[in-house]
Structure 1
């Protein structure tokens, strides 16, 4: 298929993809989306057709902060700087492309799970908009505490000891303070919260039920609607077993690997 649809991009910290990441990146190519993977290291097993670019083209990735938090931590600022510089749609490396993103969509994000907050695993924004500017300013000029935190959250952070950076202390207080929490807060501040799509568009399966992707008897597609475009596989919540073992025959993960052409056995964790 010609790669003539809107470009998508993501970030990978490390030198090797797991099979679900290979699957998700290749799924976008299958639907005609050019895929760029910005990397901090030399990735040796990206699917054919994925363009590998150095992460430094977007921003420097301080590995000391990554090591003190998680590989996904700095992706929260990287994604908005990437969108602003390139105009590509951000996709997490565990977002499976079910259908192509329509060309006319300018605002791409949705609520997820069972709490009503917005997620930022798949994001499309105008390159110049107040929301993206506020998000980048938040990361570049961290406040003493995130504005939406309550007194208990602030006290929890104050109890932390050690010489860790301010950003790390915020992360250790609330892991999602740089992800969904920030995105939800600033979308409300800028009046863009109501532009969000319904969960079925980008996150049809609630995070709390992510084991269903590996269940041969699970009815994953029962969560889909005609509006479903992306299916988040939530690898951060995946049990360690599925990183080290092939998906069971007839499970959604197994079926999609077979359909897209990914051999899970070649990229187990």
Structure 2
């Protein structure tokens, strides 16, 4: 068993894509105990990854997942997991470039072009005000998120009233339970300034995510000596790349060779 800090993620579904296998194994390769909480029986989890039932952390509302997305409940699952076991949350599309520091309590960062925070990689103390406020938000949803403007509230009001309150918020603003909430509460509790710069956890902007599949793209040109994680943004990947192996020489292909993943065995 590795002595490095544990990392953990959630998977809802019966099969991992090769990029998910790659990202999870990259943390194993870096020496982190890597836990995958599963809502279903997953038949292609690589050796070295510890599989645990998601119910150990929380019960998953399948009807709510159907009304939103498989990634919806990960927004609350991540904080309940951190509170319970103290592991670092990693999305299943976050590639470990270098091991996470052992002595850093707060691990989260800015992403994209706007400076907003992302929560694809999150490390927090098990007991902290930021965690308290996030969990209270999810457990006691307000009529509207506190940071919403009039237009966002109108979008909510136009949603199907037969949907649950949570689903209406999600449909109005897909990131209201993820980056929006994390950014708002980090500012409320004074932790926003502890966010790392984009190059640490999200060196490649979301808008450029096709570069991972381009054999002539200089992905590493985005990296610095501070880069720890590389987010591959599989939710934004074009369907073609989900169904085909990466081109030889591309970042995705090179990392698969480096970590030991055969893309052809785990396509969609």
Q: In which range does the TM-score fall when normalised by the shorter chain?
A: over 0.9
Aligned length: 268
Q: For the Cα contact (< 8 Å) 2:160–2:168, is it kept in 1?
A: no
SS in 2 for 1:48: coil
Q: Which residue of 1 aligns with 2:83?
A: 84
- Residue 170 (structure 1) shift: 0.1
Q: How does 1:83-232 map to 2 (within 5 A)?
A: 83-232=82-231
Q: Which residue of 1 aligns with 2:37?
A: 38
Runs of 4+ with deviation above 2 angstroms: none
Cα separation, 2, equivalents of 1:213 and 1:163: 41
Q: For the Cα contact (< 8 Å) 2:81–2:87, is it kept in 1?
A: yes
- Residue 154 (structure 1) shift: 0.4
Cα separation, 2, equivalents of 1:228 and 1:268: 28
Cα separation, 2, equivalents of 1:227 and 1:160: 43
Cα separation, 2, equivalents of 1:184 and 1:33: 27
SS in 2 for 1:9: strand
Q: Which residue of 1 aligns with 2:248?
A: 249
TM-score, L = length of structure 2: 0.99
SS in 1 for 2:58: coil
TM-score, L = length of structure 1: 0.99
- Residue 3 (structure 1) shift: 1.6
SS in 1 for 2:32: coil
> Is 2:60 the partner of 1:58?
no
- Residue 162 (structure 1) shift: 3.7
- Residue 161 (structure 1) shift: 2.3
Cα separation, 1, equivalents of 2:44 and 2:134: 32
Q: For the Cα contact (< 8 Å) 2:105–2:125, is it kept in 1?
A: yes
Cα separation, 2, equivalents of 1:162 and 1:198: 40
- Residue 84 (structure 1) shift: 0.3
Cα separation, 1, equivalents of 2:168 and 2:265: 37
Q: Which residue of 2 aligns with 1:73?
A: 72
Query: Which whole-Å deviations, capped at 9, do the CAs of 1:63-104 have from their partners, x for residues lacking one?
Result: 111111111000000000000000000000000000000101
Q: Which residue of 2 aligns with 1:10?
A: 9
SS in 1 for 2:148: coil
Where does the alignment leave 5 or more consecutive residues of structure 1 unmatched?
A: none
Cα separation, 1, equivalents of 2:45 and 2:160: 40
Cα separation, 1, equivalents of 2:67 and 2:254: 36
Cα separation, 2, equivalents of 1:28 and 1:56: 23
SS in 2 for 1:175: coil
Where does the alignment leave 5 or more consecutive residues of structure 2 unmatched?
A: none
Query: Which whole-Å deviations, capped at 9, do the CAs of 1:26-67 have from their partners, x for residues lacking one?
Result: 000001000000010011101101111000000001111111
Cα separation, 2, equivalents of 1:19 and 1:71: 18
